[in-house]
Amino acid sequence: MIADRDVRLSLVAGLLLVTHWVLGLSMADEPSWAWMLSAAACVIAGWHPTRISLRQVASLKLDIDVLMVVAAIGACAIGQWTEAGVLLFLFSLGHGLEGLATERASSAISALAELAPTEATRVRDGVEERVGVATLAIGDVVIVRPGERFPIDGAVVEGVSSVDQSPMTGESVPVRKEPGDECFAGTLNGEGLLRVRAARAAGETMMARMARLVEEGQANRGVAQRITARFTRIYTPVVLVAVPAVIGGMMLTGSGFDDAFLRGMAVLIGASPCALAISTPSAVLAGIARAARGGVLVKGGAHLETLGSLRCMAFDKTGTLTTGRASVRGMECFDGASRERALAIAEALDRHSSHPYAHAVRAAAASAGVARLEAVQVTDVPGTGVRAAINGRACALGSPRIVDGMPMPAQVEASIEAHRTEGQAVALVVEDGRILALLAFEDLPREGAAAVMAGLGRAGIQRIAMLTGDAPAVAARIGAAVGITEIAAGLMPEQKIERVRALRSIGPTAMVGDGINDAPALASADLGIAMGARGSDVALEAADVALMGDDLARLPWAIGLARAARRTITQNVVIAMGVIAVLVPLAAFGGIGLGGAVVLHEGSTVVVAFNALRLLAWDRRPA
């Protein structure tokens, strides 16, 4: 990676400069060869800026890179090797880090593409054959076995199963699929074998379209144009003309070449944008470092600045505002059944299951300390539940469909409806044809999520919305729990993008999510924020910011830090520009000599650097 190499070269140059500095402090008489360390740092750190400068000169598009290289050459010409080395080191390091972040972000495309299988089992004239997904045509029938990912978008023509659609819709629990139901490439089949008829070509699946959406979102997000870059479009050619003009003017008025050259070098040093060049990168690097220490990974300076300008935020629900793990939130027993026995039966049936609800059942049983029962002849009922024999009795656990063909008591029906109205999923425990209990499952809001939403409001976020593919009742319950009133439920990835774009018309907008289905919305927002610990690889790559500890409480803190970094950048630019505005005319008219220009110039650089370093100790909360 080119950017990675540039960063390494910059760090080597920095090590040489530090070595030179240490020698000067530790030895009474600095060795005559010590200047060569700074000279070597200039060559190493100046390699990248020099290449850019040569291209700019060749294309007659002069930018700050050209002026930096010329200023470094001028500093070397009068023996200021250390100043030239520091100038080039800081500038090349900033360039390298920004390029590294850009290269890493591009891997989101390949990560998304790798999710869908490349081969499929096609059935033609009763014969099964393995073929490349790219060769499948609309109307082809493929077999998707338990535990396999769907290779194509299509409709189920045979079989019943539960399918994990979270990569596409963000739904927190598997969805029952039966003949006629739509399936998507990249989603994960559960316990049943399905035959699916292809409805779209491989290049037009929802997953392929998501990959294109990520790519488009990243391509349309231009690098933030900094104030210094805009200024140097005019500033660079003016300085490059002014320095030889000063030298020539003095020689025409009778001054010797030596005096004229020193005056010109004083102007060049005074006009050298060293402080201006590090005004933004130093604050950005300090802000990024402080954010990382606080558990927030910011992938570049432009993203830190965007984070500090946010006005709207959109959140995914499952795994972002919620824990992403189902839990037993309620249990009702019927007809005098024992709670302990019903829970023990449920645990025995789910003991070896990988279903998301099975983990919740086992956790509830362990918490209640119920006695362990042994289940035999365990049989999965695809898309419905599980049946087995326990102590010679026929037992079952699953959705209400597990009791199809049996009379459903009115009390049980009413309880099922009540829990579903509250956005909870339900399962029934059955023994010898008798319904013992109802288990209610739900995905809980993250602890402290409501406080985070309030903190975002205090941090200056004007609009907060929830965008989810889950059911409206579930979304409404979570929204009420965390304090979000703007809710859009049942959304597909493309619909999430439309909602994000609507918020962007109001002001800079961030999208916060953790799933693969969130990647296009993350990429299309002004800022994508991913949950780092539980987030999918695709979401993390598509995002610009990652909460590495899955701690939403870091969001208001990070926004406050980013806004402090923006203020620091403005302060640094004002300081740097102010010193240049004073030094250049003074040096041009002889009001200050070369030594004074170097002292004031270096002083402004030190002030800017220390002002930026203050961000490393920043720890205030938004008011």
DSSP letters along 528-565, please? EEEETTTS-HHHHHH-SEEETT--TTHHHHHHHHHHHH
Is the pLDDT assigned to residue 605 strictly greater than 80? no
Provide the strand spans (E) within 126-248.
127-132, 141-144, 154-158, 161-164, 175-177, 182-183, 188-189, 194-198
Cα 390-392-394 angle, rounded to 5 deg = 65
Mean pLDDT of 73-85: 75
Amino acid at 396: A
Query: Among 140-149, 335-344, 526-535, 606-615, which stretch is predicted with the lowest mean pLDDT?
Result: 526-535
Calculate mean pLDDT across residues 497-502: 92
- Summarize pLDDT for 479-496 with one digit per residue, the tens: 999 999 999 988 877 888
pLDDT tens column, 346-404: 999 988 776 668 888 999 999 999 989 999 998 888 767 899 999 999 999 988 888 88
Instruction: Give pLDDT, residue 349.
Output: 93
Q: Among all residues, which ones are annotated catalytic? A: 316
pLDDT at 94: 57
Residue range 44-65: mean pLDDT, rounded: 77
DSSP percent split of the chain into helix, strand, coil, nearest 5: 55, 20, 30
pLDDT at 48 > cutoff 80: no
For residue 197, the model assigns a pLDDT of: 94
Task: Provide the 8-state DSSP code for 621.
Answer: P
pLDDT band for position 143 (cuts 50, 70, 90) = very high
Mean residue pLDDT across the chain: 80
- CA atoms of 108 and 124, how far apart (whole Å): 35
CB 163 within 8 A of CB 196: no
pLDDT value at 208 more than 80: no
| Mean pLDDT calculated for residue range 300-321 | 87
The pLDDT value given to residue 453: 94
Q: Counting beta carbons within 10 angstroms of the beta carbon of residue 317, is it exposed (0 to 12), middle (13 to 18) or buried (19 or more)? A: buried
Percent of the chain exceeding pLDDT 70 equals 81
Between CA 450 and CA 489 the distance in angstroms is 19
175-177: strand order across its sheet:
175-177, 161-164, 188-189
Phi, psi of 397 (to 5 degrees): -145, 130
- The reported pLDDT for the residue numbered 171 is 56
pLDDT digits (tens, 9 = 90+) for 422-481: 778 889 999 998 999 999 988 888 888 999 999 999 988 999 999 987 778 888 888 999
- Using CA atoms, how far residue 452 sits from 84, 185, 286, 549, 589, in Å, is 47, 35, 25, 15, 58
Which of the given ranges, 223-227, 299-303, 461-465, 516-520, has the highest pLDDT on average? 461-465
pLDDT(284) > 50: yes
Strand order in the sheet with 312-315: 296-298, 545-547, 527-531, 509-513, 312-315, 463-467, 486-488
- For the stretch 403-417, pLDDT in tens is 887 888 999 999 998
The mean pLDDT of 604-614, rounded to a whole number, is 80
Among 112-116, 246-250, 256-260, which range has the highest average pLDDT?
Answer: 246-250
pLDDT of 215 above 70? no
Beta strand 527-531 pairing with 194-198? unpaired
Find the helix packing angle between 274-293 and 81-105, rounded to 10°: 50
Query: Domains in the chain, start-ordered, CATH in brackets?
Result: 117-204 (2.70.150.10), 242-295+565-623 (no CATH), 297-321+446-550 (3.40.50.1000), 325-444 (3.40.1110.10)
* Separation between Cα atoms, residue 133 and residue 122, nearest integer Å: 9
Q: What is the pLDDT of residue 88?
A: 76
Q: Is the pLDDT of residue 245 over 80?
A: yes
pLDDT for 623 beyond 60: no
If pLDDT is split at 50, 70 and 90, which confidence band does 142 have? Answer: very high
Q: 551 CB contacts (<8 Å, ≥6 apart)? A: 295
Which structure tokens are listed for 204? 């037009």
Q: Is residue 131 over pLDDT 60? A: yes
Q: 285 or 40, which is more confident? A: 40
Pairing of strands 161-164, 127-132: unpaired
DSSP 327: E
Q: What are the pLDDT digits (tens) for 580-601?
A: 888 888 887 888 866 677 667 6
- Least confident interval from 136-140, 220-224, 352-356, 382-386: 220-224
Amino acid found at 544: D
91/84 Cα distance (integer angstroms) = 11
pLDDT band at 293 (very low <50, low <70, confident <90, very high): confident
Question: Hey, what amino acid is at 558?
Answer: A
Provide the pLDDT for residue 212. 62
pLDDT recorded at residue 218: 45
